[in-house]
Structure 1
């Protein structure tokens, strides 16, 4: 069983926290996950690092998809932490764009 499969199986068993204090290694869920098959790792990500933009100093979150092709992405910290756009996604159940699913011990 792959680590992504392990995470997927544990998502429903974990006590989901609404903490907004993410750490490197945390597994987070994008709000669009509610629209896909929950047996996959789609829209689950691992936080790889926090970085600063070299030109602007803007804080970035570096994160990796836990599903093929395991894309590594960077997103501005403020956008990563932002609430779901209720005008664009009025029926989204999740409050924030990304929420904590699992924090490694």
Structure 2
């Protein structure tokens, strides 16, 4: 399995958006791990995605030939310290 995402890490989604990871959280009833992350452009929403899907590969049958094999690719640490209520556009 792939490495866990880095807290405070900035990731590029295979469709091009940038996202900041805050943490990996555990669902109390099932033990399923979720990545908690925020869009750094656009609407600035906060998302929770199962860890398995976050670190997984792009479904090429569904999305065809894509440039990025991983769903999210680490591009560096957040130097601007964007919080839950901020975005790159603020």
Same fold flag (TM > 0.5): yes
Distance 1:87 1:55 in 2: 33
The residue number in structure 2 matching 1:84 is 58
Q: Which runs of 5+ in 2 are unaligned?
A: 80-90
Q: Which runs of 5+ in 1 are unaligned?
A: 1-18, 34-42
The residue number in structure 2 matching 1:25 is 8
Distance 2:51 2:3 in 1: 11
Matched, 1:66 2:49: no
TM-score by length of 1: 0.68
The residue number in structure 1 matching 2:84 is none
Q: Please provide the CA RMSD for this pair.
A: 1.7
**CA apart distance, 1:21:** 4.5
The residue number in structure 1 matching 2:83 is none
TM-score by length of 2: 0.78
